[in-house]
Structures are given as C-alpha cells and as structure tokens.
C-alpha cells in the first residue's frame, strides 16, 4: 500500500537528485578530506563547495558554518559550547518551555552542571511575550536560546525583537531553525542572531547531517575533541557524502522556495476548508498562531477523539501523521508544547500534527480530510 505521508516535520524523503549528488563520495571519491593527496583534495573541494553554497543560502560567510551530525548536535554544541565559553561571565540561561528536547534536555543537563535556566512561558498560540523575556534578563545572563519555528504547532517566535534585545545587552542569542530552513528565507547578515542550528533531513536532504552557524564574535568551547576538522570547532572526519547531499537539497529548495511556500499555504487552506465542509467549523480546533506560523505544520484537535485513536485509525487507512515531535510520539504523554500553551485537556488529548512537503498533493489532502471525517463521526457516535 502506498501511504499518504503527512509527517514531513519529522523527516522528508531524500530527493533522487540528492542521492545522485551523494553517491560518488561513497565509492570513487571516498578520500578523507584531511588527507594531503589528490583523493583528499577532492573530498575537501566538495566540502568547500557545499559550505559556500549553504552559507550563501543562509546569508553568512562559509567560515561561520560548522557541519554537525544534525539539529540535535548543533543545539548541543550551541548550548554547551556557549555556556562553557562564558562561564566566567555568568551562569544564567534563558530558553522557552516549547523548545525541542534537543534544547530542553541539554538545558536540564546544564542545570545539573550548575547553570540556572529560565524556561519562558508562552501564550495560547505558542509565542513568548517580550515582556517576560525582558523581565527574565539578569546581569549574569549569558545565553538566550529560542527556536524560530515550533516543530509541533508551526508557531514562529519574534526573532528580530528577541535578537535586538539580546544584542543590546551583549547576550549570545541561539536559534534552533531546524523547522525554518527551506521554508522561509534566512539572512544571517541581517538577523541579530549569534548561533543558528540547521538539519538537512527536514528539507529532503539526508539524515545525520546539519550545521551550526557561529557568528564571528561568538565564543564557543568545542565539545568534541580529536582532529583539527572544522577549524578545531568540531573534531571528526567529515561526512563528505552527506555534506554534498545537504548542499544539493539546499540548491533544489533555493530555486523552489517561493513556489513551495505558496504550495504549503494552499495545501493548508485546502485541508482546513475540507474539514470545515465535512465536519463543521466548530468540530475541530487549530492549534498554534493564526498568522505568525509556517504553513507546512498544521496541528489540529478533534475533541472527543483521542490522539492515539486518530493516529491509529489514520495509520490503518495508510495515512501517516504525528502526535507532536517524533521523539515523544508513541508515548501517551501529552505534548510539553501544548501543555505550555495551556490548552484545555480535551484539546491537548486530541491533537494531531499534519505536516506537508514537496510530495504532498491536493488529492492526498482531499482523501485525508474524508478519512478524518469518517473516523471522527464513527468514534463520536459510538
Ligand atoms: C525544532 C527541531 N530542533 C531539532 C531537531 C533535531 O534535529 P535532528 O533530527 O537533525 O537531530 C528537530 C527534529 O525533529 C526539530 O524539529
């Protein structure tokens, strides 16, 4: 059975062109980028080219990008690295209650190491209040880590204002932009951001590769030790094939971003409109911010139908959706994001995340909306 995959926020299929761009580096061009011979030089050239391309896509200098094993490592590197480099200045960190676990669990570990962390609350749409951030600032605050786009509800945080505030106080500002890359233009030349995390597998690149942007003035302690790769900021032989794949994915998305944004808005609208027609507008709730959000993530609650029942029934129909971040789906726990948004119990317990990508079609949306309506009516009438 071919499935209808509506879980692009968890991961995306690797595009065939991306696979083609990676293949040579497994066999013919397998050199180690640190080697001085021609095979090494070829690998090094591929990495240079990829770094130039990805840096130009996000508006930074190539030397400001460090390749990592993905979003999780980038977030860990940013938080541990910035905390360690500035421990002499202070030990207070600010983040939010709705971050991905790659930031939340890292923050919790930093607390064990003696740092103090403030977890900012959010409003019912998932946005922080700038007043709360202002009030949380302390003379010993060394780092603010706030995500660009939430992976469960798609809500965007006010990056510009947060960054300006951080700059005015000389505080390092880290942004987890894993769900933003490829969906919205990012120009690090203009954004008041010091560290930014990226991951390739959310934009049709391979898994296990990502990058961390490090502004020139931002000091980071490396947290991996070994060789001198990545200007001594991240030891370990570079994953040339994955880096080449990441770059190719960025190239493809770069030339399609506007169309992709239009397509995501259209698919989102189609899904909501069809559900309104089939179920009625009062029969479901859209979670997240109505405007300050990216369209590829659509989180909907169907009160009276538990998340698990909906996901299981959809799965039986060949439709893949999610209950939140991939790491917590499968467990019955209510999402920490929806909890932080202080939604009603009924809304939290019936939330499902649909996320769209390049391969999603209007036909798939139509089929999914019909299946959802059938499932909702069946369960509610039982
Ligand atoms: C917002 C966010 N940050 C970080 C990550 C982790 O990225 P990776 O899977 O590349 O480690 C994810 C993945 O779901 C994410 O959505």
Higher pLDDT residue, 330 or 119?
Answer: 119
280 burial (CB, 10 Å; 0-12 / 13-18 / 19+) is: exposed
**If you average pLDDT over residues 7-14, what whole number do you get?**
97
Mean pLDDT, residues 283-299: 98
* pLDDT recorded at residue 332: 58
Residues 210, 246: Cα–Cα separation, whole Å: 8
Using a 6 Å cutoff on CB, does residue 350 contact ligand 1? no
Residue from 5, 143, 133, 36 nearest 87 by CA: 143
The SS3 of residue 297 is: strand
What does the pLDDT look like over 16-69, one tens digit per residue? 999 999 999 999 999 999 999 999 999 999 999 999 999 999 999 999 999 999
- Residues 343-368 pLDDT 10s: 999 999 999 999 999 999 999 999 99
Q: Which stretches of the chain are assigned E, i.e. beta strand? A: 4-5, 65-68, 92-96, 116-120, 141-145, 172-176, 195-199, 210-214, 285-287, 297-301, 319-320, 351-355
- CB of 13 within 8 A of CB of 23? no
Is residue 216 scored above 70 in pLDDT?
yes
For ligand 1, whether the C-beta of 151 sits within 6 Å is yes
Q: How far is the CA of 370 from the centre of ligand 1 (A)?
A: 31
Confidence at residue 131, expressed as pLDDT on a 0 to 100 scale:
98
Q: What is the pLDDT of residue 201?
A: 98
Q: Is residue 144 within 8 Å of residue 133, measured between CB atoms?
A: yes
Q: Is any ligand 1 atom within 6 A of the Cβ of residue 71?
A: yes
Ligand 1 centroid to Cα of residue 297, in Å, is 14
| Annotated catalytic residue within 61, 85, 136, 327 | 327
Which of ligand 1's atoms lies nearest the C-alpha of 72?
11
Position 333 scores a pLDDT of: 81
Residue showing tokens 């939290």? 348
Active site residue 327: yes
Q: What is the pLDDT of residue 369?
A: 98
Give the closest residue (by CA) to ligand 1 atom 5. Answer: 71
């Amino acid at each position: 059975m071919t499935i209808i995959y509506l879980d692009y926020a968890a991961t995306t299929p690797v595009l065939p062109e991306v696979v083609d761009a990676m293949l040579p580096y497994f066999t013919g061009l397998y050199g180690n980028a640190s080697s001085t011979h021609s095979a090494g030089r070829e690998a090094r050239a591929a990495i240079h080219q990829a770094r130039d391309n990805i840096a130009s896509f996000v508006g930074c200098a190539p030397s400001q990008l460090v390749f990592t094993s993905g979003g999780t490592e980038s977030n860990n590197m940013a938080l541990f690295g910035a905390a360690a480099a500035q421990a002499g200045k202070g030990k207070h960190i600010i983040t939010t209650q709705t971050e991905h676990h790659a930031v939340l669990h890292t923050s919790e570990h930093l607390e064990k190491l003696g740092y103090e962390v403030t977890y900012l609350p959010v409003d019912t749409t998932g946005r922080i209040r700038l007043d709360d951030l202002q009030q949380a600032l302390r003379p010993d605050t060394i780092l603010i880590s706030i995500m660009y786009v939430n992976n469960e509800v798609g809500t965007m945080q006010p990056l510009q204002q947060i960054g300006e505030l951080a700059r005015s106080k000389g505080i390092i500002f880290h942004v987890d932009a894993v769900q933003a890359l490829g969906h919205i233009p990012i120009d690090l030349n203009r954004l008041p951001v010091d560290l930014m995390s990226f991951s390739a597998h959310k934009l049709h690149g391979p898994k296990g590769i990502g990058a961390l942007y490090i502004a020139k003035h931002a000091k980071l302690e490396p947290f991996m030790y070994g060789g001198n790769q990545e200007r001594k900021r991240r030891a370990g032989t570079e994953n040339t094939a994955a880096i080449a794949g990441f770059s190719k994915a960025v190239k493809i998305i770069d030339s399609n971003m506007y169309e992709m944004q239009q397509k995501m808005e259209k698919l989102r609208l189609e899904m909501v409109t069809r559900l309104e027609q089939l179920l009625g507008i009062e029969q479901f709730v859209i979670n997240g911010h109505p405007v300050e959000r990216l369209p590829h993530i659509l989180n909907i609650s169907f009160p009276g139908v538990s998340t698990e029942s909906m996901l299981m029934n959809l799965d039986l129909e060949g439709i893949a959706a999610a209950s939140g971040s991939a790491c917590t789906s499968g467990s019955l726990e209510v999402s920490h994001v929806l909890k932080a948004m202080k939604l009603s119990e009924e809304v939290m317990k019936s939330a499902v995340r649909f996320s769209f990508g390049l391969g999603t079609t209007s036909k798939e949306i139509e089929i999914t909306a019909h299946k959802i309506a059938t499932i909702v009516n069946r369960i509610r009438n039982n």
